[in-house]
Chains A and B, each alone.
Chain A
């Protein structure tokens, strides 16, 4: 740990990585709470995997056709928005089974992404970065993007908190109260998509789903209010990203994977601990009576 702090003091890329983890945790904690309570984890997974198509295409056009300005991040944002709108419309219209469209976007996005990446020089390095994250490669410009996204997510959440919480809790009743469920649901999916793009930098496409659910689920064990769950989820997310980075530094482990393993261990520990406490309480009550 001491070596990590020393390295962070000396190297800008480690400081950037730490700051990325902390900033990403803000959006992650807020959106993760919606993902868990609205039960849209699999939708989040589909969006994450679908953006490989956008990133792959953007990278292909940038390298092979010389479209210099087309950063893969832009491809990720556009494809994430597209996935949000497609899933939102399909889910709300109810014409197609939700899990079918989730599976289709998930696989097709990966297929398109792999197709274009294979046609682009530098295949392996790019692919590994997209799939498993590359938090140590975050630039100062990326940090501004992440900070801007945090402000957007926090702003939308504060302004529409009551409506979004209402549709997460009871969509039908919300509709009867005149809340434009479709509008807020798609808005929720869009800010979720932006958060997914942001987290891809931290842990990669494959592990985004874990970072968007585990901190919020763990927070749910300690609080019974949605705003409390958001705050605690941000705190847990900061602990996992910072802790994961620190633990991975000296043994030269992959940072994204270490972050997720840490979050996973914490989740199972809390789940088992909670079960043990409940069982002891039941025994105590039975013993007393």
Chain B
């Protein structure tokens, strides 16, 4: 694993009109890292992700993705959107959804043989190849999440960004998702946004806490104090395996 930064954010400042969303953000992500971005709702996690994707432009500061501007490198980033962003009953097969990941900026878009091969490879990677012809409406929530990951993988990206991937799946499916991300992390950099603190798992090498400003911690150093500081108040920390609740204060 090399130390070449795949993402470099320097002195970033972003606001919606008068409302400051992010300030003094400095982040360096090295190749092959697995990073979790946590923070309260409205803290700026998704905005930071969208800045990395080039969907927003910073008011001040600089973002470099693989040495270039985000929009120039967007085809090298795989993006897994939030689950609620589309209609799960949309009349489309699983393969058609994944093929969306191969569409480019061309005026007329037909799917070539190589597009279909890339989409099938992506489905195989997420172990959903046997569902290729199934309608999207007929697969479960966890399977649908895998389809969205396959769509992001179809363009063979170097960086995978996931926005709230556990928001619609149960604990068992969350474990399956972890295994999949662990496998993918062997050949790509992964950044996951979550407000689900339980999802901050052993794979993550760094946890970026986002609440207008950012603080970066190695995973092992995350403590109740860090979390309280981030969320600005006490939170309930639930340890499911031991069947009791600890109150972090």
Which residues of A are in contact with B by a Cβ distance under 8 Å?
37, 159-163, 165-166, 168-170, 172-180, 220, 223-226, 228-229
Q: How far is the CB of B175 from chain A (nearest CB, A)?
A: 26
For B91, give its contact among A166, A173, A229 (CB under 8 Å): A229
Contact between B105 and A226, CB atoms less than 8 A apart = no
Contact between B91 and A37, CB atoms less than 8 A apart = yes
Q: How far is the CA of A225 from the CA of B93 in the complex (A)?
A: 7
Q: How far is the CA of A159 from the CA of B108 in the complex (A)?
A: 6
The interface residues of chain A lying within 8 Å CB-to-CB of B100 are 162, 166, 169-170, 173-174, 177
Contact between A170 and B104, CB atoms less than 8 A apart = no
For A160, give its contact among B90, B93, B109, B136 (CB under 8 Å): B109
Contact between B135 and A225, CB atoms less than 8 A apart = yes
Other A-B pairs beyond A178-B105, A224-B136, 11, CB < 8 Å = A160-B109, A163-B103, A165-B92, A169-B97, A170-B81, A173-B151, A174-B103, A176-B55, A176-B79, A177-B104, A225-B92
- With CB as the reference atom, state the residue of chain B lying closest to A161: B109
Q: How far is the CA of A163 from the CA of B77 in the complex (A)?
A: 20
Q: Compute the total of residue contacts between A and B using a CB distance below 8 Å.
A: 81
> B53 an interface residue at 8 Å Cβ cutoff?
yes
Q: How far is the CA of A226 from the CA of B111 in the complex (A)?
A: 16
The interface residues of chain A lying within 8 Å CB-to-CB of B90 are 37, 168-169
The interface residues of chain B lying within 8 Å CB-to-CB of A178 are 74-75, 103-105
Interface flags, B79-97, vs A, CB<8A=1, else 0: 1010001110011110011
Q: How far is the CA of A161 from the CA of B99 in the complex (A)?
A: 13
Which residues of B are in contact with A by a Cβ distance under 8 Å?
53, 55, 74-75, 77, 79, 81, 85-87, 90-93, 96-97, 99-101, 103-105, 108-111, 135-138, 151, 155
The interface residues of chain A lying within 8 Å CB-to-CB of B101 are 177
The 6 A-B residue pairs with the shortest CB-CB distance, nearest first, are A178-B105, A224-B135, A162-B109, A170-B86, A226-B91, A177-B103
Q: How far is the CB of A275 from chain B (nearest CB, A)?
A: 15
The interface residues of chain A lying within 8 Å CB-to-CB of B85 are 170, 172-173
The interface residues of chain B lying within 8 Å CB-to-CB of A224 are 91-93, 135-138
The interface residues of chain A lying within 8 Å CB-to-CB of B74 are 176-178
The interface residues of chain B lying within 8 Å CB-to-CB of A225 are 91-93, 96, 135
Q: How far is the CB of A278 from chain B (nearest CB, A)?
A: 13
The interface residues of chain B lying within 8 Å CB-to-CB of A228 are 91
Q: How far is the CB of B79 from chain A (nearest CB, A)?
A: 6
The interface residues of chain A lying within 8 Å CB-to-CB of B86 are 169-170
The interface residues of chain B lying within 8 Å CB-to-CB of A176 are 53, 55, 74, 77, 79
- With CB as the reference atom, state the residue of chain A lying closest to B151: A173
The interface residues of chain B lying within 8 Å CB-to-CB of A165 are 92, 96
Q: How far is the CA of A178 from the CA of B155 in the complex (A)?
A: 12
- With CB as the reference atom, state the residue of chain B lying closest to A168: B90
